[in-house]
Amino acid sequence: MTGLTQRRREPGEEPRPDDPDREPPYLDLDRLEARAREVLAPPVYDYYAGGAETESSVQEAPQAWRSWRLRPRVLRATQADLATTLLGTPVGTPIGIAPWAYQGMAHPDGELATRRAAARVGALMTVSTSATHSVEEVAAAAPDAPAWFQLYRQHSPEHTADLARRAGAAGYRALVLTVDLPVLGRRRRDLRNDFALPAGLRMANHPAPDDRPALSANASTSWTFDDIARFAEISDLPVVVKGVLRGDDAVACARAGASAIWVSTHGGRQVDLVVPSAHALPEVVDAVRGEVAPDGSDVEVYVDGGVRAGSDALVALALGARAVFLGRPTAWGLAVGGADGVAAVLTGLSEELAHAMTLCGVATPHDATPDLVVRAGWLPR
């Protein structure tokens, strides 16, 4: 994990096996989170790590992937190739970066460092509306690498529409509508800490406080299915709908003009006791099978939530996800090692995925088919 070594050794000194600061020869996300907790201010760590109410959904998400078991194929000599396409855009790995807010709290370069790391690895980054650098600044940090822009409903319909237009003009390849936030989840850690953006940082894509128009009493706090096609037209981009956990909602989004559905619990930060992404994914994949995107291609499905190992990612691909996205692990990587830390997380999990694919006789992400997994009936559902 280049760039994450904590202790400075003397010139020529070799790391000792018992050195507590010696990097393990694999991606240790628990250790990485512990180190991130040491360098982040407590309210910032709580903001990234916390979830809604009792945080049951946060805790259950990783374990939900472990309720599946792989069924390896044997006698298939293969070398795994992770390359795939997302909405027609080539990427080097099906493991990408989910949108997460206020990255400048984790590292001074914030989203710019994350963008450069994703470009280095060949991964796709989804840039949050709640970024500490603007739509254009993040795009310019790696102008030739693909990225998507995630859109929240902003302080006025006009400002939200302008953000969508700017994303299209800046070269983003898709617009990701996050639809699971009609109101902010009740996050007890943030309430306890009276969380606020640290001094010196800005919500770069939000209007300045003095420029924010007041919403009328009749203003809607939510989007509708009609907004999917509307934002596709405004931005001239394919629309991904993020935050879907039901098959019927997925079909409605697809028929309203979505090019892809993103299964997500918002990191367990919105509704507690929500169905884990690992369990919602098969229903959504089954529901949209045969649905057609506006360009005539099949509607794609993505997933995030609790992916912490290459085998988790392989289960997701086998269940029908075209890609998996990471949130908190990239936050810990950014906090500890900047761009190098994010690249180390993406590389480590991609290497684990390739290793698991080889062991299971899977040559490409598209070869991970449903017969590769079975629900572990002896484990709690």
Beta bridge partners of 148: 126
Residue type at 198 in one-letter notation: P
Task: Answer yes or no: are the C-beta atoms of 311 and 324 closer than 8 Å.
Answer: no
With CA atoms as reference, report the closest residue to 307 among 274, 272, 346, 250: 346
3-state secondary structure of 62: helix
The whole-angstrom separation of Cα 302 and Cα 263 is 6
Question: Binding site annotation covers 308?
Answer: yes
According to the annotation, is 128 in a ligand binding site?
yes
State the Cα angle at 162 between 157 and 164, rounded to 5°: 100
Question: According to the annotation, is 79 in a ligand binding site?
Answer: no
Active-site annotation holds for 107: no
The verdict on whether residue 305 carries a ligand-binding annotation is: yes
* 99 annotated binding-site participant: yes
Would the annotation count 100 as a binding residue?
yes
289 marked ligand binding residue: no
Annotation-wise, does 150 bind a ligand?
yes
Of the residues 107, 133, 206, 266, which is catalytic?
Answer: 266
User: Under 8 Å CB-to-CB from 380, ≥6 apart: which residues?
Assistant: 67
Q: How far, in Å, CA of 223 to CA of 176, rounded?
A: 13
Tell the burial category of 68 from Cβ atoms under 10 Å away from its Cβ (0-12, 13-18, 19+).
buried
Instruction: Confirm whether residue 306 is marked as ligand binding.
Output: yes
Is 304 assigned a ligand-binding role in the annotation? yes
How far is it, in rounded angstroms, from Cα 224 to Cα 256? Answer: 10
The response to whether 242 counts as a known ligand-binding position is yes
Cα separation, 49 vs 29, in Å, equals: 13
327 is in an annotated binding site: yes
Q: What positions carry a catalytic annotation?
A: 266
Known binding-site positions for FMN: 99-101, 128, 150, 178, 242, 264, 304-308, 327-328
Known binding-site positions: 47, 99-101, 128, 150, 152, 178, 187, 242, 264, 266, 269, 304-308, 327-328
Known binding-site positions for glyoxylate: 47, 152, 187, 266, 269
